[in-house]
C-alpha cells in the first residue's frame, strides 16, 4: 500500500498506450477559449468497467456506453462532449449517440462499436451533429493530451480535475490515471458527473469490475452537491494491459494495491468535484465513525454532507452543531444520543450528545478554511464512512436561477 506514487499532474494519458485530445466545436455557446469535444484513444484494446446514473430518464449516450460495458467487448476509445446532454430528445438521441461513436471510430480507424460515448450539458437539446462531424476529425491526439480532454468535458466547472497513481507489480510499473468533471450543482442543466479512468494494468476483468463497484461506492457515490442526480452520470474505467505486468486478479498484494490506487484516484476526482460545486467556497468532509455498520456510517455521512442547513451554516461560519445532529438523525440510522461526540476540524464541540465548552473563535476560524472536516463518533459499533459536499452560497442560487433558456 505504501508504494503507491501519486502524480498530481497526471491524467488519463499517464498510463502507457493512451493518448487524448480535444477541440472547440461550438456546442457550448459560452465556449470562448474552452473545448467541448474530447477524445481518448488506446493503441490497443481495453477491457472496461463502468457505473452509470440510476435516473429513470437517461441520456442515450449513457445507454450506448452502458451497452458496450455490459457486452464485455473491448473498446479502443471514448468520445465525450460538453454543452449538450443528448437527453430527452426523442428517438434522435440514440441515433446521434451512435453516429457520434461512428465519427470518432472513423477518426481513430477502429470499429464504431469500439468507442464509448458520453455527453454532458443542457437536457432537451439535440446534439449538433454537423458540428461534431466537422470538428472530430480536427482533434489531434497527444501523449500528454489528458488535460486537453479534461478541459473538453467541463461545463461550468472552474478548473480541470485529474490525477494519476502508480505502483509496482512484479517489476512492471502500473499506472492508473483519471479525469472528472462535475459540479452537479455548478450548472443548472448540467448536473452531470463524468469520470474517465484509464490504466495500463493487465487486470482480470471480473476483478476490475468488482473493484470499480467497491471504489465508486466509497467515492463518487459519497459526494453530494445539490441532491440532484443527472441523466448522464458515468464512471468509465478502461484497462489496456500495456504495462505488461503479471495479471492482477484478486486475492494478492498486487490486487490490493490496484484497488487502493484506484481508490486514491477516484477519491481525488470525487473530492475535487465536491470542492468545485457551484458557488462553493469550502469543501466539506463528513466522517462518521463507530456506527453499527459501514453502510450506516456512509449513509449518515451523506446525510450530513448534503444537508442544506449544514451547508449554509458552514458558509456562515456558524458552529451550529444542532444542525449536524439533525442531519445525522435524518439518516434514521441507529444511534444512542448520550454516546455522540462531534468534532469540527478536530476540535470537539459535542460530548455525550450535548454541547461542551469550546473556544468558539477557534471553531469559527476552522469553519473559514478551504476544507472543513466534520467528524461524528457514534460509539455504538465499528462502522465508518466518509462523504464530501460543499457549502451553499447565494452564488449557487444566483447562478441556477439566472441561467436562462
Which H or E element spans position 251?
Answer: none
Question: Among residue numbers 230 through 259, which ones bind a copy of itself (CB under 8 A)?
Answer: 230-231
Minimal distance, residue 336 CB to a copy of itself, in Å: 10
123 or 195: CB nearest a copy of itself: 123
Choose the catalytic residue: 74, 160, 192, 282: 192
What gap in Å lies between CA 240 and CA 256, rounded to an integer? 19
Burial class (CB in 10 A: 0-12, 13-18, 19+), 29: exposed
Whole-angstrom CA distances from 239 to 245, 249, 354, 399 are: 12, 13, 50, 38
If we measure between CA atoms, which residue out of 124, 125, 77 comes closest to residue 102? 77
**What would the x/- binding string for a copy of itself be over residues 35 to 74, using CB under 8 A?**
-------------------xxxxx----------------
If we measure between CA atoms, which residue out of 268, 267, 264, 259 comes closest to residue 201? 259
Question: Among residue numbers 161 through 190, which ones bind a copy of itself (CB under 8 A)?
Answer: 184-185, 187-189
Question: Among residue numbers 375 through 404, which ones bind a copy of itself (CB under 8 A)?
Answer: 392-394, 396-398, 400-404
What gap in Å lies between CA 227 and CA 191, rounded to an integer? 10
If we measure between CA atoms, which residue out of 77, 101, 86 comes closest to residue 27? 86
2 or 402: CB nearest a copy of itself: 402
**What would the x/- binding string for a copy of itself be over residues 254 to 293, using CB under 8 A?**
----------------------------------------
What gap in Å lies between CA 328 and CA 335, rounded to an integer? 9
Minimal distance, residue 204 CB to a copy of itself, in Å: 32
Question: Among residue numbers 113 through 132, which ones bind a copy of itself (CB under 8 A)?
Answer: 122-125
Residue 22 main-chain phi, psi, to 5 deg:
-150, 170
Question: Among residue numbers 299 through 358, which ones bind a copy of itself (CB under 8 A)?
Answer: 306-309, 312-313, 315-323, 325-335, 337-338, 350, 352-355
> Could you say whether residue 297 binds a copy of itself (CB under 8 A)?
no
Minimal distance, residue 28 CB to a copy of itself, in Å: 16
- For residue 180, give the 3-state DSSP assignment: strand
Minimal distance, residue 334 CB to a copy of itself, in Å: 7
> Could you say whether residue 34 binds a copy of itself (CB under 8 A)?
no
251 or 357: CB nearest a copy of itself: 357
> Could you say whether residue 361 binds a copy of itself (CB under 8 A)?
no
36 or 233: CB nearest a copy of itself: 233
Minimal distance, residue 136 CB to a copy of itself, in Å: 25
Beta strand 341-344 with 194-199: parallel, antiparallel or unpaired? unpaired
Give the residue, chosen from 226, 257, 272, 377, that forms a contact with a copy of itself under the rule CB under 8 A: 226
Give the residue, chosen from 23, 104, 191, 254, that forms a contact with a copy of itself under the rule CB under 8 A: 191
What gap in Å lies between CA 36 and CA 156, rounded to an integer? 12
**Are the C-beta atoms of 97 and 63 separated by less than 8 Å?**
yes
What gap in Å lies between CA 274 and CA 282, rounded to an integer? 9
**Are the C-beta atoms of 220 and 194 separated by less than 8 Å?**
no
- For the chain, helix (H) and strand (E) counts, in that order, are 11, 15
Give the residue, chosen from 70, 143, 228, 252, that forms a contact with a copy of itself under the rule CB under 8 A: 228
What gap in Å lies between CA 70 and CA 66, rounded to an integer? 6
Interface size with a copy of itself, residues (CB under 8 A): 74
Burial class (CB in 10 A: 0-12, 13-18, 19+), 161: buried
> Could you say whether residue 139 binds a copy of itself (CB under 8 A)?
no
Minimal distance, residue 351 CB to a copy of itself, in Å: 10
Told to judge if 192 belongs to the known catalytic residues of this protein, a careful annotator would answer yes
29 or 401: CB nearest a copy of itself: 401
> What is the Cα gyration radius of the chain?
21
Question: Among residue numbers 90 through 109, which ones bind a copy of itself (CB under 8 A)?
Answer: 90-91
Minimal distance, residue 308 CB to a copy of itself, in Å: 4
Q: Where are the beta strands (DSSP E) in 205-346?
A: 234-239, 283-291, 341-344
> Could you say whether residue 229 binds a copy of itself (CB under 8 A)?
yes
- Give the residue numbers marked as catalytic: 192
Amino acid at each position: 500500500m505504501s508504494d503507491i506514487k501519486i502524480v498530481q499532474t497526471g491524467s488519463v494519458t499517464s498510463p502507457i498506450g493512451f493518448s487524448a485530445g480535444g477541440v472547440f466545436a461550438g456546442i457550448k455557446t459560452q465556449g470562448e477559449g474552452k473545448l467541448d469535444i474530447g477524445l481518448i484513444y488506446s493503441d490497443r484494446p481495453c477491457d472496461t468497467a463502468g457505473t452509470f446514473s440510476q435516473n429513470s430518464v437517461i441520456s442515450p449516450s449513457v445507454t450506448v456506453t452502458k451497452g458496450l460495458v455490459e457486452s464485455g467487448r473491448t473498446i479502443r476509445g471514448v468520445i465525450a462532449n460538453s454543452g449538450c446532454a443528448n437527453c430527452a430528445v426523442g428517438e434522435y438521441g440514440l441515433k446521434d449517440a451512435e453516429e457520434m461513436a461512428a465519427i470518432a471510430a472513423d477518426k481513430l480507424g477502429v470499429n464504431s462499436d469500439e468507442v464509448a460515448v458520453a455527453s454532458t450539458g443542457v437536457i432537451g437539446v439535440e446534439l449538433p451533429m454537423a458540428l461534431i462531424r466537422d470538428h472530430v476529425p480536427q482533434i489531434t491526439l497527444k501523449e500528454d493530451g489528458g488535460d486537453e480532454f479534461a478541459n473538453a468535458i467541463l461545463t461550468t466547472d472552474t478548473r480541470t480535475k485529474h490525477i494519476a497513481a502508480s505502483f509496482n507489480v512484479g517489476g512492471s510499473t502500473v499506472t492508473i490515471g483519471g479525469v472528472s468533471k462535475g459540479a452537479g450543482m455548478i450548472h443548472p442543466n448540467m448536473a452531470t458527473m463524468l469520470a474517465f479512468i484509464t490504466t495500463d494494468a493487465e487486470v482480470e476483468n471480473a476483478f476490475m469490475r468488482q473493484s470499480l463497484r467497491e471504489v465508486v461506492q466509497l467515492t463518487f457515490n459519497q459526494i453530494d452537491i445539490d441532491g440532484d442526480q443527472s441523466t448522464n452520470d458515468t464512471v468509465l474505467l478502461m484497462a489496456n494491459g500495456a504495462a505488461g505486468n503479471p495479471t492482477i486478479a484478486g486475492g494478492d498484494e498486487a490486487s490490493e494495491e490496484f484497488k487502493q490506487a484506484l481508490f486514491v484516484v477516484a477519491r481525488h476526482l470525487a473530492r475535487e468535484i465536491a470542492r468545485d460545486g457551484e458557488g462553493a467556497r469550502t469543501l466539506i468532509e463528513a466522517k462518521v465513525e463507530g456506527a453499527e455498520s459501514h453502510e450506516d456510517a456512509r449513509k449518515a455521512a451523506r446525510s450530513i454532507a448534503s444537508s442544506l442547513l449544514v451547508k449554509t451554516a458552514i458558509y456562515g461560519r456558524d458552529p451550529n452543531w444542532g444542525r449536524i445532529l439533525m442531519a445525522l438523525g435524518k439518516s434514521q440510522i441507529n444511534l444512542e444520543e448520550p454516546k455522540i461526540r462531534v468534532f469540527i476540524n478536530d476540535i470537539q464541540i459535542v460530548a455525550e450528545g450535548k454541547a461542551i465548552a469550546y473556544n468558539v473563535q477557534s471553531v469559527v476560524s476552522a469553519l473559514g478554511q478551504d476544507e472543513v472536516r466534520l467528524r461524528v463518533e457514534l460509539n455504538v459499533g465499528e462502522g465508518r464512512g466518509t462523504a464530501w459536499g460543499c457549502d451553499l452560497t447565494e452564488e449557487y442560487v444566483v447562478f441556477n436561477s439566472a441561467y436562462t433558456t
